[in-house]
Structure formats: structure tokens, C-alpha cells
A and B are shown apart, each in its own frame.
Chain A
């Protein structure tokens, strides 16, 4: 939405205003301390639980040798799913040149980075002997989906970081020049991260071209990360996992999860950062429509995933599906399908529902639904091994996460939110220079702000 450049004086004022608005949250915003205290409390509880788990082993969790993947792994899948929003918003919408998305791209990128990092971390929390982590790398087998997953997650983290850093370079240059009086270390950081950017034509060209390349590259990698995550399950012969559409099913499921999280984040940043002028109702409308679109796609995959085996009811599949439809997991299953998928689709068809507050509520339901959905993908299958289980204690055969697992999982979620909070505190939440250009600030204005002096 490149406006006609504004008259000189107006342009100057506008640029100043944009900077004031976007840099303001770096020094103060509402409820920051209270929020940090909440996260810290959860974290301390989690740390205590994790200490005991490390000391006494995974036996303190409710996982046993029959159900050996539980809440941690389902949370891992959830984290990976949410992180896909970075690719969806900043790459897909960006490349499609959807107008007006610039103000929300960095938020998407930050969510992606925070959650994909914790996805890696929660795998370590699921290890009884994390001190042997290195063995995964030393003795990993290239045939194992686990090794593929490590590879693709690392790659996705790196590309996401680069996609965060690149548009940050000009911002850092502006900040380097603007906050000369900040503490020395802070100025140092701006200096380093701005890489001496001075608005030279070659420098700008590199940034534009690299961003474009990465935006294209991240699409297959993001598909890869969630497809490979689904393969951790689909490469086995287990009921409920042994499905050829598991890759696309996961990818399709990731979009609503991420977009739901996006809706929540937009609402929070809009209010606590006082950015109503930048994150507008239009953005909520856009995110709402995106949520309908992606949810419809996911609904379609759900139909395939459940209707096809449900029609045939092969013995083992039948047990599994009964457990989901009318058995032990029925409540969770129908909650997820109705409140996390169908209702949001129906509601969001109405324009009124695509306003900020309704979007927040719907976003919360979609995210909770996505979280629970991952759980009923992981645990019920494990409760149905093919080999007969006999003469083992009852609690070996059924699974429900216990306090330790909830505490540690909540801890992981709060670390992700903490990463997000801190990043959003130290860097401007929107690419200042891109916003300025979009709003019609003159190039000279920016050149001046970049100048390395």
C-alpha cells in the first residue's frame, strides 16, 4: 500500500510520530511487571517439578512403558503447530502482497521463534536422561524421523531468526542514531545489530533480496517441519497414526492454531502497547477471515482422517475411533471439534465476530482446542498397542498427565511467552521503516535517519 509520498513537512511529522509510537513500548507499557510476575511464578513451580523429575526420573510422571508419549510430546506438536504462523503471515501473505500486513509480520515472526525454540526444549524435558542429549547427534540414524525432525526444526529456527533479523537491521540503524543517550551497552547492541547499515543502495538491495529469498525458502521448510513432525507418528504402524494424509493433516491443523494465537497476540499488543492506530480492526478482520479459511481446510482434513477409517471400522481402528467418538476421549474429542473448529468457522462468517474482542475469545478457544487436539492425537493411540497387554497394573494401560507434567508443560508455555515478551520489549514490535514507507514517509527522511554518523 505504498501511498504517494507526502509533502515534506507532513512526512517529517509523520515519521516522528511513527517512531514515537513504536519506540514508546520499549520504555514503558501497561501491566509489564505484573505479567512478568505471573510468568515467573509459573516458572518457579515448573522448575521445582522439573528438579524432582530430573532427580527421580520420568517415573514421577504418569507415563509408563505402554503410554510413553504423553503431554510433553503433544505440547511439542502444539508448539510446532503454532510456530507455523510465522511462515503463513510473513511469507505467504507477504509474497501474495496482501495489503496492510506489514504491522503484523514481526509479531508473527516473534511467535514463531518463541514457540519453535520451546518445541525443541520440551523434547529435552521429555527425556529421562537429558545429559545424554548429545547421543542423539552422535549416534542419530539418518533413517530416523527423529533425526529429520531435529534437522528441520533447527533449520526453521535459523530461517525464522534471519527473517526476524533482516528487517530489523534498518530499525536498529534508526535506533542507533535516535537513542545515542541510552546506556552504553544498549547502544553497543544497536550498533552491532545494525551492522553499520547506513541506507546505502546496495545495502537496501541486499535486505530486500534476502528477505524475498528467505520468504520463499521458509515456505517449504515450514511445511517440512510440520510434515516431519507428523511423520514421527505416521512412520509407525500404529492405529490412528498410520495415515497417508498425516503430513498435510498436521500442516492444515497448524494454521488455525497459529492464526488463533495471532489473534490473541494482536489483541494483547494492540491494547498494552497502545497501538490501535497500527493494528486496526482491518487486521482483525483479515486474521478472522484467515482463520475461517484455514479452519475450513482443517475441517476437510478431519473429515478425511475420521470418516474414511470410520466407514470401514477395521478392528483396531474401530476400537480407537470408538474411544474417541463415544468412549473415554469423547468429551475432549467433541469439545475440540465443536468449540475449536466448527463454532469458530460458523461465528467468524459474521463480520461482527471479526472485531478485536470477539476475535480474542475465539482465538482462545481455537488455541485451547488445538492444544487438546494434539493430546488426543498422541495419547489414545498409545493406549491401544497391537501386542496384547496382560498382567500389568491398571495404571500402565491408561494415561492421564499428572501434576508434574502439567507443571512442567505450563512452565514450557510460560518460557515461550517470556521469550515473546522480552523480545517484544527490546525490539520494536513492528518494522518501523517498512511502516513509515507504507504510510508515505519520504525516502529522504529515512535516508537521513539511517545515516551512520
Chain B
């Protein structure tokens, strides 16, 4: 599914560059405008909307509220901007996602109604979570090589200013891979305020066993990284390091080198010989005079 969506966005982008898209205003039927979000504006729905947004919208619209959208013409709006959110009803946003326009793809066939409404729940929730983010929250990680565990906790200050560990906070722990982060554990902090996971025995790091662990507490807008050096060292089989058809010239298989240099070389030796012979014609002429 994800693959298909990527293909869509990519090809729409290409189309954008290849042709001029005439910009015209959105036309939204009145009945659509007044529709309201059937989903409750709660954390679960907003979370779900966030996932959908990351996979389907971020590539063009950027991060919500960050105004880092793709430089297209007409530009994809920052869907987190106050201007956008006040100017559009839920029904309008829903309609725009559903039908698309120009380079904005139609998500009618790609996302279910619920998924689309969830995105709106996420966009709307954005302001509230922003306001309620706990400024004192602090994420900390402990990596324990003995049992190969990663443990994370969130501390904050209570009313009296005393440091306390939060119980039941959502945490996601992942490991950095080549093309993205691989989630290895997702859950809530326990009664002691910690959430921990054990790294799988065979989880490979780099050739020295190094790896980067990323811990995210989304609700608190916190992200921390930690380097470990006790992941399983990977016996990385570098396909471009060996002699191969697909490698660089320096890694060309010997038989290709031999054939190429042998054939081209011998032909050119003859050519150079002939050129020298031709020049000899001129030399003979001089001698003759």
C-alpha cells in the first residue's frame, strides 16, 4: 500500500514538472462544506491521523505547522497553519482531500473515509496538544549492555516543583536503519515510570556492533538518541566492494578488462601503425626532393 502511495505522489510530482498546471480555485459544494468530523477528537484518532499524514501527505505538505512544504506551483498549503485551519471547515478539508486538484492527488480511492477524517482529527488536535505540551517533561534513556535492554522514562515537575517520573506515558523505541527507523518497542511507562525493551539477540549493528537507538515520546514532543556498541556486529557483504558487473570501473571483473583492453588495444595498435605508415609517405617525399 505504502509503495503505491509513494508511486502516486512521485508521479504526480513528475507530472507537475512536466506540464504546467493551470491554477484554479477550489469549488466546494455547499452540502460538503457543512459536513462535520464523525470521529471524536481524541488522542487515538489524532494518533491515527498522524500516521496517515506521515505516509500520504508529508512528502508534499511537509511537517504540520513547519511550513516546509514542497516548492510546487501552486504551493501545497501548510495544513497546520492557523490561516488554513480557520479558513476551512472540516467538510472543506475532507472534500479537498477526497477530490484533489492539479498536483494535489485525490485520496478517494487511496484512503478510507475514516482515515481521511482521522487526518482532520490530527490537524485539529494539533493546536490543543501544542498548548498542552508539558514544558518541563524530559526524556531520558538508559542503555544496559548486560541484558541488552533499553529503558526510557519521562520526568517532569509536579505542582511543588519536585521531579517525578510519569506513569503511563507513550514511548516508542526504534533503531536507526539505512532507510528509516525500525520500531522495536512501543508502549507506556510502567508503575516505576520506565518503559523498557530488550534488543533482539541478532539485531545487527554496523561491522563494529554500533547502532543508534531513537526514543520518541510524541505527546511530549521529545526525541532522544543514544549510541550503543553492543548490537550484533554485522558481517556486511558489500556488493560493490567485490569485482562485479555493477561495480565501479575499478572493480570491473578481470575478464571484462581483458576482453575490452585486449580487443580495443589490438585494433588501436594497428590503427596507430597505419597512421605512422601514412606519415612515412610524407617523409619519403621529403627524402626524395
Contact = CB atoms under 8 A, between A and B. Distances in A.
- Do the two chains belong together in a single complex? yes
A198 B18 contact: no
A198 B282 CA distance: 9
A202 B283 CA distance: 11
A56 B286 CA distance: 55
A214 interface: yes
A143 B245 contact: yes
B252 interface: yes
Interface residues of B, number: 38
A203 B281 CA distance: 5
A195 B271 contact: no
B257 interface: yes
A143 B252 contact: yes
Interface residues of A, number: 41
Given A140-B249, A155-B271, A396-B11, 8 more contacts: A196-B286, A197-B281, A206-B277, A206-B280, A206-B281, A210-B278, A213-B274, A224-B263
Interface in B1-53: 4, 7-8, 11, 14-15, 17-18
A206 B285 contact: no
B268 interface: yes
B248 A141 contact: yes
A306 B66 CA distance: 58
Q: Interface on chain A toward B: helix, strand, loop, or mixed SS?
A: helix
B220 to A, nearest CB: 38
A391 B4 contact: yes
Given A59-B17, A221-B267, A195 B281 contact: yes
Contacts of B17: 59
A151 interface: yes
A74 B82 CA distance: 55
Given A203-B281, A206-B280, A214 B7 contact: no
A68 to B, nearest CB: 12
Interface in B254-289: 256-257, 260, 263-264, 267-268, 270-271, 274-275, 277-282, 284-286, 288-289
Interface in A206-220: 206-207, 209-210, 213-214, 217, 220
Given A206-B278, A393-B15, A148 B284 contact: no
Given A143-B247, A196-B281, A217-B267, A210 B274 contact: yes
Contacts of A59: 17-18
Contacts of A207: 281
Interface centre among B246, B282, B286, B289 (most CB of A within 10 A): B282
Contacts of A396: 11, 14
A143 B246 contact: yes
B253 interface: yes
Interface in A346-391: 390-391
Given A159-B271, A390-B7, A165 B278 contact: yes
A200 B284 contact: yes
B285 A214 contact: no
A142 interface: yes
B289 A452 contact: yes
A142 B256 contact: yes
Contacts of A203: 281, 284-285
A169 B257 contact: no
A19 to B, nearest CB: 22
A141 B249 contact: yes
A158 interface: yes
B56 to A, nearest CB: 13
Contacts of B279: 195
A221 B288 CA distance: 36
Contact of B271 (A162, A196, A209): A162
A207 B285 CA distance: 14
A162 B275 contact: yes
Contacts of A217: 267, 270-271
B249 A158 contact: no
B14 A65 contact: yes
A209 B280 CA distance: 13
B102 to A, nearest CB: 13
B249 A214 contact: no
B284 A202 contact: yes
Contacts of B267: 155, 217, 220-221
Contacts of A139: 249
A437 interface: no
Interface in B235-250: 244-249
A396 B284 CA distance: 63
A12 interface: no
A166 interface: yes
10 contacts: A143-B249, A148-B260, A158-B271, A196-B281, A200-B288, A203-B284, A203-B285, A210-B277, A220-B267, A391-B11
Interface string A255-288: 0000000000000000000000000000000000
